[in-house]
Amino acid sequence: MSEQPVPFLDLASVNGDLRAEYEAAFSTVLGHGKFIGGPEVGKFEAEFAEYCQARAAVGCGNGTDALELILKGLGIGPGDEVIVPANTFIATVEAVLYVGARPRFVDVLPDTLLIDPDAANAAVNKNTAAVIGVHLFGQMVDIDRVLEVTRRHGIAFIEDAAQAQGAEFDGKRAGSQGVATGFSFYPGKNLGALGDAGAVVTQDTELADKIRRIADHGRSAESRFLHDLVGRNSRMDSVLAAGLSIKLRGLDKANAGRLRAWKQYVEELPSAVRPVSTHPKAAAVHHVAVVEVENRDKVCTALDEAGVGWGLHYKTPCHLDSAYTQFTESLPVVEAAAERILSLPMSPNMTEQQVSRVCEVLRGVTG
Ligand SMILES: *Cc1c(COP(=O)(O)O)cnc(C)c1O
């Protein structure tokens, strides 16, 4: 058995095969000089919208901006509440606070660690404007049940699909069912750019147009010399869009590589290391490989000693994080899970030997 170190994620190796294609694309962009919003951006937007089974995509600066632009575009702001799961990357919460709305944290389901639709339903009040369903770890939320809640109350359903490019629930893609969906192309995401980038995806082309204008300083559709909305600057760079088009062609294959590694983990992990569940209707894209263990500190030490990378998604539930202490909810499922969760190495090109090595180290420490 190989005792080679296993990195958590090796981005140089994930992107290395594409070097020649990237270099050709850079050269094209250098040649035309339209560095922001050039033809590569429109091309990628069209390809990505189609990939997501949606009508429109708007490229922007990053995934956090994508969520903020959606909330702005929907007119959500001061006085409004937005329901968010407490188990998410902090960016989901930042977007809500940056538009002046109030996040309302709800608990997650114990098996998938994704938003609990009943908890979301119970949290709705007269100020609730939207629910953000976060497709965490590469698995979509139970979208049928969440949509039932948002339809019953007449509020918006927004998807945070930063970790779920290509994921499906009941055959429908992430990005196809929310009022709008925020995607991140942070380099480590399943569809990762060569820098910071993001996109808003939606079936609503009017909303897409409005968001595009907000992200471009509120520029008027009639004249580029007029600004009829108070906007901001969050646009996509042409080189990054060109790289994303290249990467998108290989996304299904990359996600299949992640699924293969995940299935091997599920088979080979010792019984004291429990993988999070996948809903029977979900086709997950395994952005991170999350398991639960009881003696996590000891396990992490053993992984460190063996040179196996690991992560925590997330060590502190958002409502308990130090900038957010005004939110005093008690959310027992996420709080208990935060003590046990552990993310194992995961990447599109993980080898069978690497997964076996990680499982062997875990077997050694959990007995
Ligand atoms: C990465 C991420 C974001 C933010 O994306 P950035 O591009 O880093 O701004 C938002 N939500 C979730 C769940 C994420 O994982």
Domains of the chain: 13-248 (3.40.640.10), 251-366 (3.90.1150.10)
Q: How far is the CA of 188 from the centre of ligand 1 (A)?
A: 10
**Local structure of residue 327 (DSSP, 8 states):** -
- Respond yes or no on whether the N-terminal peptide bond of residue 314 is cis (omega within 30° of 0): yes
Closest CA to 82 of 115, 60, 57, 54: 115
pLDDT for 2 equals 63
Dig out the tokens for 169 from the structure.
């629930």
Residue ranges around ligand 1 (CB below 6 Å): 62-64, 88-89, 91-92, 134, 160, 162-163, 184, 186, 196, 198
Contact 248, 241 (CB under 8 A): no
Bridge partners, 292 (sequence order): 274, 341
SS3 label, residue 366? helix
- CA of 134, closest atom in ligand 1: 13
Q: How far is the CA of 158 from the centre of ligand 1 (A)?
A: 14
Q: How far is the CA of 62 from the centre of ligand 1 (A)?
A: 8
- CA of 136, closest atom in ligand 1: 13
How many angstroms separate the CA atoms of 64 and 46, rounded?
Answer: 21
Nearest CA to ligand 1 atom 14: 162
In the chain, which stretches have pLDDT less than 50? Answer: none
Count the neighbouring beta carbons within 10 Å of the beta carbon of residue 91.
Answer: 22
- CA of 95, closest atom in ligand 1: 10
pLDDT for 357 equals 98
Please, what's the b/e burial string for 299-331 (b: 16 or more CB within 10 A of its CB; e: otherwise)?
Answer: bbebbeebebbbbebbeebbbbeeebeebeeeb
Dig out the tokens for 117 from the structure.
């639709």
- CA of 287, closest atom in ligand 1: 15
How many angstroms separate the CA atoms of 151 and 148, rounded?
Answer: 5
String of DSSP letters for 242-304: HHHHHHHHTHHHHHHHHHHHHHHHHHHS-TTSEEPP--TTEE---SSEEEE-SSHHHHHHHHH
Q: How far is the CA of 63 from the centre of ligand 1 (A)?
A: 5
Contact 37, 45 (CB under 8 A): no
Q: How far is the CA of 177 from the centre of ligand 1 (A)?
A: 19
Q: How far is the CA of 149 from the centre of ligand 1 (A)?
A: 24
Q: Which of 9, 60, 62, 64 to mutate to test the pocket of ligand 1 (most atoms within 8 A of CB)?
A: 64
Q: Which of 82, 84, 92 to mutate to test the pocket of ligand 1 (most atoms within 8 A of CB)?
A: 92
